[in-house]
Structure 1
Amino acid sequence: MGKYTFDNEIMPDKFEESYENLIEDLNEYLLLEQGKLGTEFSIDDSITELFYSIEKNLVETGQNKNSQIIRRYLSQPTDVNFVTFNYTDTVEKTMGYKKFIVNKDGNEVLVNLQNPIHVHGRLNSSMVLGVNDETQFKSEIFDNDFPEFFVKNKNLTDHVNSTELELALEVIDSSDIIFLFGGISWRHRQSILGKNS
Structure 2
Amino acid sequence: MCKFSGILEKTRINYGVLKANLATDFIQCIKNIIGGFRTEQRDTIRRSVDAVGGGFQYNFISFNYTRTLDKCVEYAKTEVEGLGRRTYNGCVYANTIGELIHVHGYTDRDMVLGVNDETQILNMKLFENEYPEYLAQIIKKETN
Check conservation: 1:79, 1:113, Cα contact below 8 A. yes
Q: Which of 68, 84, 108 does residue 102 from structure 1 map onto?
A: 84
User: SS at 1:41's partner residue?
Assistant: helix
Deviation at 1:94, TM superposition (A): 1.6
Q: Aligned pair 1:49/2:37, yes or no?
A: no
Highest CA radius of gyration, 1 or 2? 2
TM-score norm. by structure 1 comes to: 0.49
How far is 1:69 from its partner? 1.7
Unaligned runs of at least 5 residues, structure 2: none
What RMSD in Å do the two structures reach over aligned CA positions? 3.5
**Identical aligned pairs, as a percentage?**
23
The TM-score with structure 2 as length reference comes to 0.62
Task: Map 1:42-191; keep pairs closer than 5 Å.
Answer: 42=23, 43-50=26-33, 53=35, 57-58=37-38, 60-61=39-40, 64-73=43-52, 76-95=54-73, 96-98=75-77, 99-100=80-81, 101-103=83-85, 109-138=93-122, 140-141=124-125, 142-143=127-128, 146-152=134-140, 154-155=141-142, 159=143, 161=144
Mapped partners of 1:47, 1:63: distance in 2: 14
Greater RCO, 1 or 2 (C-alpha within 8 Å, sep 6+): 2
Residue matched to 1:31: 9
Q: What residue in structure 2 maps to residue 182 of structure 1?
A: none
Conserved 8 A contact 1:102-1:111: yes
- Alpha-carbon distance between aligned partners in 1 of 2:123 and 2:95, rounded to the nearest angstrom: 47
Give the Cα–Cα distance (whole angstroms) in 1 for the partners of residues 92 and 11 of structure 2: 37
Counterparts in 2 of 1:79 and 1:62: CA distance versus 1, 3 Å = closer
Report the alpha carbon displacement of residue 129 of structure 1 after superposing the two structures with TM.
2.2
Cα deviation digits, residues 3-23 of structure 1 (max 9, x gap):
xxxxxxxxxxxxxxxxxxxx8
* Count of residue correspondences: 129
Structure with a larger share of its residues in strand? 2
Q: Which residue identity lines up with residue 44 of structure 1 in the other structure? A: I
Deviation at 1:70, TM superposition (A): 3.8
TM-superposed CA distance for 1:117, in Å, is: 2.2
**Mapped contact 2:63–2:102 kept (Cα < 8 A):** yes
- Structure 1: gaps of 5 or more residues: 1-22, 162-197
